[in-house]
Amino acid sequence: MPDHTSADLPGSANRAAPERIVVVGYGPVGARFVDELLPLVEAGLAELTVVGAEEVHAYNRVLLADYAVGRTDRDTLDLTDGSRARAAGARILTGTTVTSVNRTIRTVSLGDGSSVPYDRLVLATGARANVPTLDGVKRVRRGLMKPGADAGGLGAAALDWAAAPLPRGVSALRDLADAATVLAAVQAGRRIVVLGAGVLGMEIALAAAAAGAEVCVVYHGEIPMNRNLDRGGGSVLTRSARQAGVTMVNHARAESVLFHHDDDGVERFEALLCADGKQINGDLLLLSCGVGARTELAHLAGLPVSTGVLVDESLRSWADASIHAIGDCAHVAARPADADLGAAWNGARMAPAGGPSGLIGPGWRQADSLAARFTAEITAGTAARGAVPAAAESAPVLSAEPGASVVMLKAEGIDVVAAGDTSADPFDLDDSAHAHGCASGDPAPLVVAQWADPEHGRYVKMVTRGGILTGFVCVGMPRTGAELTLLFERGSELPADRSVLLRFDGPDYDPATAGDAFAPESTVCWCNGVTVAAITTSAQAGNDTVACIGTATRAGTGCGGCKGRIGEVLERFAAQTVV
């Protein structure tokens, strides 16, 4: 790493040495933070060390399902190769674990016995797959684990499974090795049992079925995606999934796993046993039961943790201003007064508000925000470690209140999008409630509009308050879903006749009449916050394909669900250019 003196550093007259920044975790969020911080490194204002447990450089985990069914190749997952970071002077350590954080002397200990000093430490350790309680599958209390202590040559896998390895034939889709296991099963036309029907479970189930595997989804609730959909939307999705060749088994409480022995005598998954006696046979059990933040490192360092590492709106730890957290390991919540810290910490253990969203977009926004704050603080020449100079006051600050996210299901031929609270039922809202709301001066009552065509896999539910869209579910109607997403994003008022929104997916739909969807400020890529205006500007510069737009603006490089919309914007731009 280059040795810089204070005389070499622009704007650093008050600094004795570059700021030492250590990032633990080199996944999508950690890599985004590194990219945004490189100007500081290139200017000699910061020394950056990145520690990643996996041998490979950062890749897009959101697209693992596509890779696991052979829909995309390995290269398309890469987010970086680390070459620019290394050229700037950053130290990238892959295949390396951090075993402890020594806050008193500000160092992190590595699995090889060495240590790295820091002035600012950023935890981007991400999340691991939850392992449900199943007889035959061992679980571990993660909170007291010592990261890397049981590595035994297992590398990154030790962070999740070293103390309790999953049985043969049981997997969770969290990394490249998991994807390779699923891909082998798909290519061989095996029977895959997916336990859990959240967004990721449904995506991999539908993708695997489309690729030729025999797939069964087992879940405890009545409907799939029950955190995002109401009963109507979930029922239509169930019907569409069955038509796509996926067996859907609801109201099934999985209790244990049945095994047989391979030729080498090792047990392998054979069937999932449910509380009601159902036995669901398969060749691969794929766990899709949510994720949990990797907080062991923070917990052992004495930092407050809840559903993630507790950080304030500036992403600083509640207990240590030199430590920050971003992505799936971060729980953003307003830091209480010192006198109330203990009580607030204990209360936060039971309060999920502000916890990790599990979505790539919020993680990337946190990375951007923290990098901007570091840049403002360091270039201002902070004299005291952890202090916030006046020049940094304009740096981005995140809200401690979790924002409403738009959830999209990526599946060929099945379009699902939902946002906000859609639990209200149209027949539960009687006239007396409306009258009371208007007479008492209380907020306007909720109004629900609902339309269903289960036979053709279509369903729409819109919840409004005072005419403003506060939540919606849209299944099987992509253009209507795009319009509702736009209205929800803007907090716009719906037309008095809600049925006009259904016409976007009608046979007489004319794209020219949907000019609002192409308004310059309309968001196209939610993961990266890229608007129509940004895509149009990029197209004017010669980026005329979806891939080129992705390289120039990052649009479409997250979940990939917006690539169709990017294509529509490019087509509209091309048509207007010809005219």
Q: What is the mean pLDDT of residues 477-492?
A: 87
The identity of residue 550, as a single letter, is: G
Which of 191-200, 295-304, 335-344 shows the lowest per-residue confidence on average (mean pLDDT)?
335-344
The CB density around residue 143, as the number of other CB atoms within 10 Å, is 11
174 versus 214: the higher-pLDDT residue is 214
Q: pLDDT tens across 174-208, in order?
A: 889 999 999 999 999 999 999 999 999 999 999 99
Tell me the one-letter amino acid at 560: G
Residue 64 pLDDT > 80: yes
Tell me what percent of the residues of the chain surpass a pLDDT of 90.
48
Residue scoring higher pLDDT (529 or 368) = 368
CA 348 to CA 201: how far, in whole Å?
A: 28
pLDDT value at 82 more than 90: no
- For the chain, the first-to-last Cα distance in angstroms comes to 54
Q: Over the stretch 450-469, which tens digit does the pLDDT of each residue have?
A: 999 999 999 999 999 999 99
Is residue 310 scored above 80 in pLDDT? yes
Highest mean pLDDT, choosing among 318-327, 501-510, 548-557: 318-327
Distance CA 549, CA 537 (A): 10
What pLDDT does 537 receive?
87
Name the more confident of 447 and 559: 447
Exposed / middle / buried, residue 104 (Cβ in 10 Å: 0-12, 13-18, 19+): exposed
Cα gap 158→135, rounded to integer Å? 22
pLDDT at 255 exceeding the cut of 50: yes
Which position has the higher pLDDT, 548 or 311? 311
Mean predicted lDDT score pLDDT of the chain? 83
311 pLDDT band, cuts 50/70/90, is: very high
| Structure tokens given for 175 | 């990394």
Residues forming beta bridges with residue 330, ordered by sequence position = 309
CA 151 – CA 145 distance, rounded (Å): 12
Find tokens 């979505």 and name the residue. 359
pLDDT value at position 114? Answer: 95
pLDDT of residue 477: 92
3-state secondary structure of 170: strand
pLDDT at residue 140 greater than cutoff 70: no
Say if residues 383 and 51 touch (Cβ distance below 8 Å): no
pLDDT range class, residue 352, cuts 50, 70, 90: very low
Where do the domains of the chain lie, and which CATH numbers do they carry?
A: 6-128+292-392 (3.50.50.60), 166-289 (3.50.50.60), 415-509 (3.30.390), 510-579 (1.10.10.1100)
Does pLDDT of 1 surpass 80?
A: no
Mean pLDDT of 349-370: 74
For residue 9, name the pLDDT band (cuts at 50, 70, 90): very low
Distance CA 271, CA 157 (A): 25
User: Given the structure tokens 């999008």, which residue do they identify?
Assistant: 417
pLDDT band at 564 (very low <50, low <70, confident <90, very high): confident
70 Cβ neighbours under 8 A, 6+ residues apart? 183, 186, 187, 211
Amino acid, single-letter form, for residue 55:
E
CA-to-CA distance for 367 and 126, rounded, in angstroms?
Answer: 13
Q: Residue 336's CB: how many other CB atoms inside 10 A? A: 16
Q: What is the pLDDT of residue 530?
A: 83
Angle, in degrees to the nearest 10, between helices 199-210 and 231-243: 20
| Token digits of residue 270 | 């054979």
Q: State the pLDDT confidence band at 429, using cuts at 50, 70 and 90.
A: low
Q: Rounded to whole angstroms, what are the CA distances from 388 to 378, 393, 395, 489?
A: 10, 8, 10, 32
Tokens matching residue 356: 């990790």
Higher pLDDT, 187 or 542: 187
Side-chain half-sphere exposure of 129, counting CA atoms within 13 A: 26
Residue 434 has pLDDT above 90, yes or no: no
Given this model, what pLDDT does residue 471 score?
94
Parallel, antiparallel or unpaired: strands 98-102 and 107-110:
antiparallel
Q: Does residue 217 register a pLDDT over 50? A: yes
Task: Name which of 400-409, 418-427, 512-521 the model is least confident about.
Answer: 512-521
The C-alpha angle 490, 331, 115, rounded to 5 degrees, equals: 130
Closest by CA to 468, choosing from 438, 439, 498, is: 498
CA distance linking residue 475 with residue 458, whole number of Å: 5
* Three-state helix/strand/coil letters over 68-99: HCCCCCHHHHECCCCHHHHHHCCEEECCCCEE
- pLDDT of 511 reads 57
- In three-state secondary structure terms, 470 is strand
Residue count of the chain, please give it: 579
DSSP string of 502-529, one letter each residue: GGGGSTT--GGG-GGGG-TT-EEETTTT
What 3-state DSSP class applies to 407? strand
Q: How far is CA 411 from CA 59, 250, 336, in A?
A: 21, 20, 43
Pick the more confident residue, 542 or 90.
90
pLDDT of residue 305: 92
User: Average pLDDT in the 93-98 region?
Assistant: 92
Average pLDDT over residues 77-106: 92
Q: What percent of the chain has pLDDT over 70?
A: 80
Q: Are 267 and 238 contacting, i.e. CB atoms less than 8 angstroms apart?
A: no
Which of 61-65, 158-162, 375-379, 412-416 comes out lowest in average pLDDT? 158-162
pLDDT digits (tens, 9 = 90+) for 265-277: 888 999 999 999 9
